[in-house]
Every structure is written in C-alpha cells, then in structure tokens.
Amino acid sequence: MPLLSLSFLPEQAAVASKPVDSLFIYLIFISSFFGLLIAAMIIFFSIRYKRKSESDRPKEIHGNNKLEMLWTIIPLIISLTIFGWGLVLYFNNYRPPAHALEVFVVGKQWMWKLQHPSGPREIDELHVPINYPVRLTLTSEDVIHSFYVPAFRIKMDAVPGRYTHTWFQATKVGKYHLFCAEYCGTEHSKMIGWVHVMSQEDYQKWISERTGQTPMLEPGASALSEGEKIFQKYRCFACHHAAAGALGPDLSGIYGKQVKLLDGTTVTADENYLRESIKTPQIKIVEGYAPLMPTFENILSEEQIFAIIEYLKKWNSGTLPQDAEGTQSA
C-alpha cells in the first residue's frame, strides 16, 4: 500500500500503526481538498465579482434553502465519517487484550523506569516480544511525562498520583525510539530511550537470563513472584483474611468489586483505589473496619505497589487460590 507508507510518517511497527496512518491520511486529504477549494473560490470570486464602477450594486438575494441544506448535510456526513472511524480506532487502541503482558512504567525527571511482570527492571530501555500484546500501566514520581513511541503510534501521559494505561503489539523486530512528549523540566529533551522488539524466543531467553525463569507467553500467565513476595514480606495476610476477627477486609476477589465504605458510599476496587488504599489507607475506610492500617507511602515504591496490585488481580481471577498463611495451593 504505497499510499500508507508515505515517507514523512514514522516507521509502522505495531498493529495500530497502519489504521492510525490511514485515518491521518484521510484527515489530511479532506483538509487539503477543502483548503484548496476554498482558496480557489476566494480567488475566483474576487476576480469574477470585482466592483467594476462606483454605481455597481449586487442583486439582492434572500437565501437559498437548497444550497444551505447542501452545505449543512455534506459536511455533517463527512464529519460523522471522521467521528465513526476515530471511535473504532479509539476503542481498539484503548482496550488491550486480556492476556497482554503487563509492563509497569514510572516517569521520573528525567528517565523512564520500566518493570517487567517477572521482575526485571530497565531504565530508558524496554524489551518486548514481537506479535504479543503489551499493556503499559503508567505513573509518575514527580511531574507529568508522556510516553511516546512514534513507530507504534502510542502516546500516553504518565501522571503523578494515578495510573494511566495504553497498549501495543509490535509487528517488526527492531529498535524504536521512545520519547517523553510532555515538557517536564530542563532535561526533558534527554528523556529518551529505546524499545527493543525481539522474537518471542529471544524475549524468553532475555528474561530467563535475568530471573532464572522462563516466562510463559500464554493467555493469563505472567509471573507473580514480585507481588507475592512483597505481600508475604509485609505480612499483609495477617490482617487481610477471611476468618472471623480479621482486622482488615478479606482481599480475595477484591479486584473489580464494589466496596462499601464507612461513610456510606461505594467505590470500585480498581487499580487506582487499591493504590490509594496502600499508600494512604485512612482516606477510604471500608465499612465494618477500624482505620488501623499504617500508611505505606514511604515504604513501598511505585513498582512494588504495582506488583501487589497485579498479585491481587490474579488471586482474584481464581488462578491463584491461597489461604491465610500465604501458601499457594494451586
């Protein structure tokens, strides 16, 4: 498709690249068509209807319904095609497949810190397998940054105090530029890096060289060891268990559930809620419990909190039944 590989566009290296480019080219085509049409008509009319003498008076007109309908309906239809097309792309690009590889991204003046589900961490470099969806969860330790990989056509803000998400599926082995696309201070322009797309075998080798384990690139299988280790280390299960007299709410199946709070309101236990409840547990107290939990604000890093949340998710999905002693039974 020669039209879609125009040289001014970055390389197409992800599933989303071509569809995004097609819409972009469609927008350019429509804008240039009408831009040129309007410019040509301005020139033509100013010559054609130039006032010839002082007494020259144009004929009075009182509107033209046909013409007005035409210039309302045609642009409406064109705008709706842009809307519909954009909507489809938006949904595709913001809803990752359920089995995606989870990578955690922290923006920090002035670097990108990346963590793989199985443990390895990287700075300003990200290694990913080809033809496999990768879901990024982003946050920031200071100001707003923006994770931008032109070849994948993704750009997502990393915002302090909350999680944002994006995903991609690389289609070509290679090395692609990673930028920060939000001015974030004096060294913003140096906040750059690389995304390395590797074959799935190479990726597995790369991970196993660092962890001693071979990651499973299969639906639902990602290493949980990080989050589980932290959960055990801080003895979270000592309070959070299902038995009578527990000091904290039972966390099995917590992810995605509706949680009733002391003040009568209800919240969904999503990633942002879980993160807040680990960092500052006093803000939202679950109904029936006392505000006993200490804050982990300065104890756990963003990476560790993310690992715990990933752990709770898997626990929830039933793939990891576990009793209050923290021993895995599956």
Q: Which among 10-18, 149-157, 175-183, 279-287 is the span making contact with ligand CUA, rule CB under 6 A? A: 175-183
Nearer to ligand CUA, 159 or 246 (CB): 159
8 Å CB contact between 207 and 214 = yes
Rounded distance between C-alpha atoms, residue 116 and residue 94, angstroms: 20
Which run of H or E residues covers position 82? helix 65-94
- Least distance to ligand CUA, CB of residue 154, Å: 16
| 223 interacts with ligand CUA by CB under 6 A | no
Query: What contacts 132, CB < 8 A, 6 or more positions away?
Result: 100, 101, 169, 170, 200, 217
How many residues at the interface with ligand CUA, by CB under 6 A?
Answer: 9
The bridge status of strand 145-149 relative to strand 266-268 is unpaired
Query: Token pair of 314, please?
Result: 């898997």
Q: What is the 3-state secondary structure (H, E, C) of 258-279?
A: EEEECCCCEEECCHHHHHHHHH
Q: Pick between residue 104 and residue 110 the one whose CB is nearest to ligand CUA.
A: 110
Stretch that binds ligand CUA, among 18-26, 32-40, 184-192, 297-305 (CB under 6 A): 184-192
User: For residues 90 and 183, which CB has a smaller minimum distance to ligand CUA in the complex?
Assistant: 183
Only one of the segments 181-189, 223-231, 254-262, 285-293 lies at the binding site for ligand CUA (rule: CB under 6 A); that segment is: 181-189
In the set 103, 149, 180, 307, which binds ligand CUA (CB under 6 A)?
180
Site string for ligand CUA, 108-147 (x = CB under 6 A): --x----------------------------------x--
Count of residues in the chain: 330
Beta strands in 141-248 (DSSP E): 145-149, 154-158, 164-169, 174-180, 193-198
Q: 16-26: string of b/e by CB count within 10 Å (b at 16+)?
A: bbebbbeeeee
Q: Which is nearer to ligand CUA, 194 or 289 (CB)?
A: 194
Token digits of residue 127: 């290694």
Nearest approach in angstroms of CB 134 to ligand CUA is 20
Please identify, using beta-carbon distances, which residue of 114 and 269 lies nearer to ligand CUA. 114
Please pick, from the candidates 14, 151, 184, 278, the single residue that binds ligand CUA as defined by CB under 6 A: 184
Query: Contacting ligand CUA (CB under 6 A), which of 102, 157, 182, 226?
Result: 182
178 binds ligand CUA (CB under 6 A): no
Output the six-digit token pair for 245.
């007299």
Q: By CB under 6 A, name the one of 14, 191, 223, 308 that touches ligand CUA.
A: 191
Structure tokens at 162: 């909350």
Task: Tell me which amino acid residue 141 is.
Answer: E
Q: How far is the CB of 105 from ligand CUA (least distance, A)?
A: 12
114 Cβ contact list (under 8 Å, min separation 6): 103, 104, 105, 106, 121, 122, 123, 125, 126
- The residue ranges that bind ligand CUA (CB under 6 A) are 107, 110, 145, 180, 182-184, 188, 191
